[in-house]
Amino acid sequence: MHAMPKFAANAASPTICPAAAVGRDLAFAIEAHRAADAARADLNPTQAIIDRLTVKLTAAPATSLTGAMAQIGLVISELDDLGEGAERAQRLLYSALSAIEAAVGVSRADVGGDYYAPERCDPKH
């Protein structure tokens, strides 16, 4: 089982970034979804929450690097089936995401990014 996500305020943003806040909620929904899956429970309720939060994330402004991480993870997922140009874009986004993780000290999992941009799919791994 995955550890519950932490959430760290970004020093560049004295207030909560809207995208980071949605990402944090998404991370908790993903953990609930994984727990339901492990328990062989109905996944529809948690998937519906994830789907709503995903749409909300696309409309939330990123005012911090943490919020940007959440949105980059979603973009990587959206590019999955778009061909060779999309593969290059994914490699670039994974690189940017790793740099942001290192700079902020927050994992992509802390804002739901591991659901859409799992580390196992990162071309450098």
Question: Residue 13 domain-assigned?
Answer: no
Per-residue tokens: 81: 């089936």
Q: How big is the chain, counted in residues?
A: 125
- Alpha-carbon distance values, 65 to 33, 56, 99 (Å): 26, 18, 10
Query: Which range marks the domain in which residue 69 is found?
Result: 18-117
Question: Residue 6 domain-assigned?
Answer: no
1-52 pLDDT per residue, tens: 444 444 444 444 446 889 899 999 999 999 999 999 999 999 999 999 999 9
Question: Residue 80 domain-assigned?
Answer: yes
Question: What local confidence, expressed as pLDDT, does residue 75 receive?
Answer: 86
Question: Residue 76 domain-assigned?
Answer: yes
CA distance 86 to 2: 29
CA distance 65 to 48: 27
Helices 65-78 & 84-104, crossing angle to 10 degrees?
160
Question: Residue 7 domain-assigned?
Answer: no
Could you tell me which residue, 86 or 6, shows the higher pLDDT?
A: 86
Question: What local confidence, expressed as pLDDT, does residue 115 receive?
Answer: 78
Contact in structure between 60 and 66 (CB atoms under 8 Å): no
How many domains does one find in the chain? 1
Question: Residue 105 domain-assigned?
Answer: yes
Per-residue tokens: 94: 């994974």
